[in-house]
Amino acid sequence: MSVEGIDVSEFSGNIDWEKVKSQGIYFAFARVNYGTYKQDDQFASYWPAIKKASIIRGAYLFFRPSEEVNPQVKMFAQALEIEPGDLPPVVDIEQDYYNFGQNDHWDDLNSTEKLNKITNVLTAVEVATGYKPIIYTGPSFWNDKIKTSLFADYDLWIANFDTDTPTVPGGWELYTFHQYKGDQTGFPGISGNVDRNRFNGALDRLQVLTVPAVSLQEGRIGPKVKKLQQTLIKVAQDSTHPEFDPGAPDGIFGPATKKAVIAYQEANNLTANGIVAPGDKLATA
């Protein structure tokens, strides 16, 4: 069975996800942000709607090498609540298309700088979300501009249009997802453009690729961290333990949040490691 999917952004417009599902679509990726230049206007509506339609969902960051890594990842992670059953996060590494034909920022970097940028963004996404990301790229771009096999241990989402046998670059032995058609119009339920994809395997293998819950710990960023911080603040207000208060709930698990978690753990005779495991009442309150 072919496991069909799509990827969408604000260019896809209004989407009737139930109608999309009825076309045999099993998974969908949605863009969260284009560097720090732009947060996708439709992501906040797409993300819960995909899940409601019982389509397996994933999210991607379009990485801009012209910008610093951490602000891009922060914008990505703060907008994204990955839940069990979702796909791992994706880092889109390709031509900086808003500057296509004018200024290709990848060409502004030497080989070492390119590798460092890619390493740093992949690491930052993993630290922020708790999940090892998938790499999205195209064979020509990767072979011409990146020219390395150092990242072949990451799952690959390859963009190679109008073929059933995509070219696999960069030392990868196989691909996980194949984007085989871009900017399709007239897809039932989608008012704008959509990209078409296939998963390289059966549906049960796709389901295995989805993520479990992970611990909240220093370095994590996102809505779950913000909820944890708000819970700690409430517990501090309702008790005689002001040390439980991590400060302003900014969704970033930094030293102050770790200190507050450790204080809570010590007061409740728990392992005081500053890590909030899945299912812990601090994470689920």
What pTM was computed for the model?
A: 0.95
* Residue 243 vs residues 239, 256, 265: alpha-carbon distances, Å: 10, 10, 11
Residues labelled catalytic: 7, 92, 94
Q: For 222-232, what is the mean pLDDT?
A: 97
3-state class of 197 per DSSP?
strand
What is the pLDDT, as a whole number, of residue 32?
98
Residue type for 214, please? V
Q: Mean of the per-residue pLDDT values for the chain?
A: 95
Residues 41, 114: Cα–Cα separation, whole Å: 29
Residue-wise pLDDT tens digits, 231-265: 999 999 999 999 999 999 999 999 999 999 999 99
Residue type for 273, please? N
Task: Provide the 10 A C-beta neighbour count for residue 185.
Answer: 9
What is the pLDDT, as a whole number, of residue 283?
77
What is the pLDDT, as a whole number, of residue 98?
66
Residue-wise pLDDT tens digits, 186-218: 999 999 999 999 999 999 999 999 999 999 999
Alpha helices in the chain (DSSP H): 17-22, 43-52, 69-78, 111-129, 139-141, 203-209, 223-237, 255-267, 281-284
**CATH numbers and ranges of domains, the chain:** 3-209 (3.20.20.80), 223-284 (no CATH)
How far the first Cα of the chain sits from its last, in Å, is 41
What is the pLDDT, as a whole number, of residue 176?
98
Per-residue pLDDT band at 99 (split at 50, 70, 90): low
